[in-house]
Amino acid sequence: MKTGDILLFKGEKGLSRLIAWGTNSKYSHVAVCVSPKMNLAIEAITRGGVRARDIRQIKEQEYDVYRIKEDYTYDHENAISYLVSKLNLKYDYWGVVFLGILKFLAKIGIPLKTSANKWQKTRDYFCSELCYEAFFKGGGLDIVPKNDKADVTSPGDIAKSVVIEAVKEK
C-alpha cells in the first residue's frame, strides 16, 4: 500500500448494503491511507466522526485498494495534511441522508444530482465527501471530475472515477 491509496469497502449488512444498492455500487464506505509504514488510514464513520484507523485491524476481504493513476498528479503532503486537520470532526448525518435521497431519486428516474445540500456543514463529513475534499482541496486533484459537487459524491462514484484504478481487488 502507498500513501494516498483509497480503500473502498464492501458492506454486506444493513446500512452498508442499502448504500451500495442506492448508489449502484458494491462499495459503501471509503478511507484513505495516510501512512503505509504505520498502517494508518483516515475515514469518517457514523460512530466517531473523522478518525484514524489501523489498517491491520480490517479484514482484507472487506475492502479493495485503488490508486490515483500515474497520469494524474496531486500534492500528496497537502492531501494527507488536509485529512489530518479534519480528525475528530463530526460525522455529517444530514449530508448522508441527503445523498441517499438524491441517489434514490436518481435510481427511480428523477435525477437531482446538481441540487445543493442545504444541510451541508463544512465542519461535518461523511466518508466519500472527506475523501473527495482531501484530494481536491488538499491535493489539487478532482478525483471525480464527472461529479460537480463533493456533497453528492458516493463511494461508488469514487470507484467509477477515470482518475483512479484498482490496485488490489478481492
- Report the CATH number that the domain containing residue 117 is assigned in CATH: 3.90.1720.10
Per the prediction, the chain carries an average pLDDT of: 82
Range of the domain at 76: 6-168
Q: Of the ranges 41-50, 130-139, 158-167, which one carries the lowest mean pLDDT score?
A: 41-50
Render pLDDT for 81-90 as a digit per residue (tens, 0 to 9): 999 999 988 8
Judge whether 138 lies within some domain: yes
Query: Which pLDDT score is estimated for 116?
Result: 46
Minimal CA–CA distance to 123: which of 81, 91, 94, 84? 91
56: exposed, middle or buried (Cβ count in 10 Å: 0-12, 13-18, 19+): exposed
Render pLDDT for 109-138 as a digit per residue (tens, 0 to 9): 766 545 544 445 556 788 888 999 999 999
Which has the higher per-residue pLDDT, 22 or 85? 85
Render pLDDT for 132-154 as a digit per residue (tens, 0 to 9): 999 999 999 999 998 766 557 88
Judge whether 36 lies within some domain: yes
Band of residue 52 on the pLDDT scale cut at 50, 70, 90: very high
How many structural domains are present in the chain? 1
Q: State pTM to two decimals.
A: 0.81
Q: Of the ranges 6-15, 94-103, 107-116, which one carries the lowest mean pLDDT score?
A: 107-116
AA identity, residue 109: G
86: exposed, middle or buried (Cβ count in 10 Å: 0-12, 13-18, 19+): buried
Please name the residue ranges forming H helices in the chain. 14-22, 76-85, 93-107, 127-133, 155-159
Judge whether 1 lies within some domain: no
Band of residue 163 on the pLDDT scale cut at 50, 70, 90: very high
Query: Which pLDDT score is estimated for 34?
Result: 97
